[in-house]
């Protein structure tokens, strides 16, 4: 899943008081990139790399020896605390969204060629129906670190793992006494404190879905001690042999790519993995479905961009999502 947020901040390394500097570390991770900005007199890049490696060994479907790959191959394994944390949160959000968020959709994602295992050639309704027999987080349990599931069920935490990575790095920085930071992985982001260089709160922007247009951001906002994730369909899609366009958001009820006029969903929540998962789930609900769902989830602040009936870009805000 591609999710894009762009910083409207200075990335310079500027000396602060008492030898504390604003440091920036960035690079590739989880098939995307990361950027971590924080005030410290210590460079934690080695610690960041170690934490990223732990998460990959736990939940990367592209590493055949990872916990999740072994679980999917029905090899006995006691999963680690990273896996357990993401699994339990996934289970909770699966229940609250009535299955709109479902990590067991992994095999179907692969079938549509959006996963690590390659597409199924000549995919038809019969093959999709067979795959859908094994979809459903209610079919999967976790007891004492051991996953029990149908043999054909495949887990895929791609729609929540980047947000979880943001949480892990953020918790590490806070454990080190860091009071000002901004952590971003593949567009999922958490801020804490302030931008000490500008002596102001952290300001971020949500990219405009019309990536060919002149307007870079559809919204800019202050993000204060919170996390934000964005899910969009305007970048990651495929075109089949007949010229039909389909997106990476798979309808967890039908097994087919979702057809929606929603271009992007941004969610602000306390934890980034929570925002990450809900951004994916809301993407498939439709505008009215999102409105109804959020009436019972006031802790989620949401901003959406969608195409109206006259094909113009429109936005909607729920539960006090900040605008600039």
For 220-246, the pLDDT digits (tens) are 899 999 999 998 765 555 555 555 545
Q: Mention every residue, 6+ apart, whose C-beta is less than 8 A from residue 209.
A: 218, 232, 234, 263, 264, 305, 313
Query: Which pTM was predicted?
Result: 0.86
- Please state the domain extents for the chain: 5-318
Cα–Cα dist 20/141, whole Å: 46
Is 5-318 a CATH 3.10.520.10 domain? yes
**How do residues 137-176 score in pLDDT, each as one tens digit?**
999 999 999 999 999 999 999 999 999 999 999 999 999 9
User: For the residues 20-32, what does the mean pLDDT come to?
Assistant: 94
How far is the C-alpha of 232 from the C-alpha of 304, rounded, in Å? 10
pLDDT of residue 144: 96
Sorting pLDDT into bands at 50, 70 and 90, what band is 286?
Answer: confident
pLDDT of residue 119: 53
DSSP state of 120: P
What percent of the chain has pLDDT above 70? 82
């Amino acid at each position: 899943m591609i999710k894009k947020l762009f910083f409207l901040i200075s990335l310079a390394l500027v000396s602060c008081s008492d030898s504390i500097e604003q440091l920036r570390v960035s690079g590739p991770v989880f098939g995307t990139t990361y950027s971590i900005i924080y005030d410290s007199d210590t460079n934690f890049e080695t610690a960041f790399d170690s934490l990223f490696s732990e998460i990959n060994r736990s939940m990367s479907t592209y590493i055949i020896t990872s916990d999740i790959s072994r679980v999917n191959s029905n090899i006995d394994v006691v999963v680690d605390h990273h896996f357990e944390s993401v699994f339990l949160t996934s289970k909770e959000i699966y229940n609250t969204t009535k299955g709109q968020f479902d990590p067991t959709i992994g095999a179907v994602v692969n079938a549509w060629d959006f996963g690590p295992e390659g597409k199924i050639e000549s995919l038809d309704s019969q093959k999709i129906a067979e795959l859908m027999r094994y979809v459903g987080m209610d079919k999967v349990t976790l007891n004492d670190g051991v996953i029990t599931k149908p043999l054909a069920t495949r887990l895929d935490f791609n729609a929540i793992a980047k947000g979880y990575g943001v949480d892990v790095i953020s918790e590490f920085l806070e454990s080190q006494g860091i009071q000002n930071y901004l952590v971003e992985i593949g567009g999922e982001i958490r801020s804490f404190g302030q931008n000490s260089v500008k002596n102001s709160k952290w300001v971020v922007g949500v990219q405009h879905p019309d990536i060919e247009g002149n307007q870079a951001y559809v919204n800019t906002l202050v993000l204060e001690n919170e996390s934000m994730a964005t899910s969009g369909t305007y970048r990651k899609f495929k075109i089949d042999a007949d010229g039909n366009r389909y997106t990476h958001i798979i309808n967890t009820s039908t097994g087919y790519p979702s057809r929606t006029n929603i271009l992007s969903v941004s969610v602000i929540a306390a934890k980034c993995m929570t925002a990450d998962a809900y951004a994916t789930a809301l993407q498939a609900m439709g505008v009215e479905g999102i409105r109804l769902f959020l009436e019972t989830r006031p802790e989620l602040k949401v901003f959406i961009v969608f195409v109206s009936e006259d094909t113009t870009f429109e936005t909607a805000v729920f539960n006090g999502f900040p605008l600039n």
